[in-house]
Amino acid sequence: MQWLSLASLALVAPASGMLRFSCSQLVVDRIDPLVNPGVAPSPHLHQLVGGNALNVSMDPSLDLPAQASCTTCTFTEDFSNYWTAVMYFRARNGTYKRVPTFANQYLEPANGGITVYYIPPYDGRTKVTAFKKGFRMLVGDPTRREDAKDGDSRQLSFRCWDKNFAGEAGAPGTGKDTKTLPSKACAGGIRANHFFPTCWDGQNLDSPDHRSHVAYPTSGSFESGGPCPASHPVKIPQILYEVAWDTRQFNDPNEWPEDGSQPFVFSFGDKTGYGTHADYVFGWQGDALQRAMDANCNVNCPTLRSQSTAAANKCTLQPKVKENIDQWLTELPGGV
């Protein structure tokens, strides 16, 4: 974890653990059980990972660990679901091709998917409270096309990788990371970073906008131990999703727009990147996540049961919505 060591250099306190693991692709589907429950097709396409109890609707009362028979995540007590939008490449002739994801740095080859982190405060002392059964939230807003300069916008960014993950080091969102999709071709692909809020109201598992029950620290940052607002006093683990978009096969300058703009577009029709967003439905078994947080776990976490990436890759679901998503398309799925 290159960026942990660099990030911790900037802090006085010693770095604590940072649970980091891969969740292979479960399905790419036009569903959104948080924002559009029961709606299939939902307005835009997502890539979804985690437990196979994923469904078009997911009532908070569901016991996901009991319903699921497998998970695409390394830690097998984690039946949560994690999802983001999907990226497409738009060629000069106007047709779209889906951009796959690839295995992240320092992780075994996963079948694409999302790298998930649960991070306790870096001082290694402050306790976080793991999420409760039925908890869910989101970060980001697919309708955004400019910098809202709010908590969310600080938490969403992109890294333009050189070959073999080289290039800018440091924590996601620092250095040369951008809030917009990179304007030039990235020889090693593009990483999207999504940090969720870290303060909870302590009562509501969800809220109508899926965000009011959580908040950002009032000053400073989670990393620096910034205090939670009185309305949201409970410190929760900092969830980070990293998505490694394999744009490498789309770097031919002859296929890039002649006006000098970049050719990648999210499945909700956003070329800027400001609309990037991520969704979370908690589904850990029992107190497994709390145990992992209390143990300051890293990539290795002896208190948790785990599986190989090869085993995780075998957990898949058929899409609920049958449509073409992988050929050259004349419009994005859903016509957005």
Ligand X SMILES: *[C@@H]1O[C@H](CO)[C@@H](O)[C@H](O)[C@H]1NC(C)=O
Q: Long-range contacts: 216-225, Cβ < 8 Å, 24+?
A: 216/151, 216/155, 222/119, 222/121, 222/195, 222/198, 223/7, 223/11, 223/121, 223/122, 223/171, 224/11, 224/122, 225/13, 225/121, 225/122, 225/123, 225/126
51: helix, strand or coil: strand
Q: Give the interface segment with ligand X, choosing from 26-34, 88-96, 256-264, 294-302 (CB under 6 A).
A: 88-96
Beta-strand pair 234-235/238-245: unpaired
Answer yes or no: are the C-beta atoms of 101 and 47 closer than 8 Å: yes
| Chain residues 205-244 in contact with ligand X, contact rule CB under 6 A | none
Strand partners, 158: 178, 192
User: Which of 8, 25, 47, 55: binder of ligand X (CB under 6 A)?
Assistant: 55
Among 36, 67, 174, 251, binds ligand X (CB under 6 A): 67
Residue closer to ligand X (CB basis): 105 or 251 = 251
Of residues 32, 33, 31, 34, the one with CA closest to residue 208: 34
CB of 28 vs ligand X, minimal distance in Å? 17
Q: Between residues 69 and 203, which has the closer beta carbon with respect to ligand X?
A: 69
- Count of residues that interact with ligand X, criterion CB under 6 A: 8
For ligand X, the closer of residues 79 and 122 by Cβ is 79
Q: Which position among 93, 164, 219, 324 is part of the footprint of ligand X (CB under 6 A)?
A: 93
Cβ(160)–Cβ(195) under 8 Å? no
Kindly report the length of the chain: 336
40 binds ligand X (CB under 6 A): no
Q: Which stretch binds ligand X (CB under 6 A): 23-31, 90-98, 129-137, 157-165?
A: 90-98
Closest CB 37 distance from ligand X, rounded Å: 11
Which one among 18, 26, 49, 53 touches ligand X, defined by CB under 6 A?
53
Residues lying near ligand X in the complex (CB under 6 A) are found at: 53, 55, 67, 91, 93, 95, 255, 328
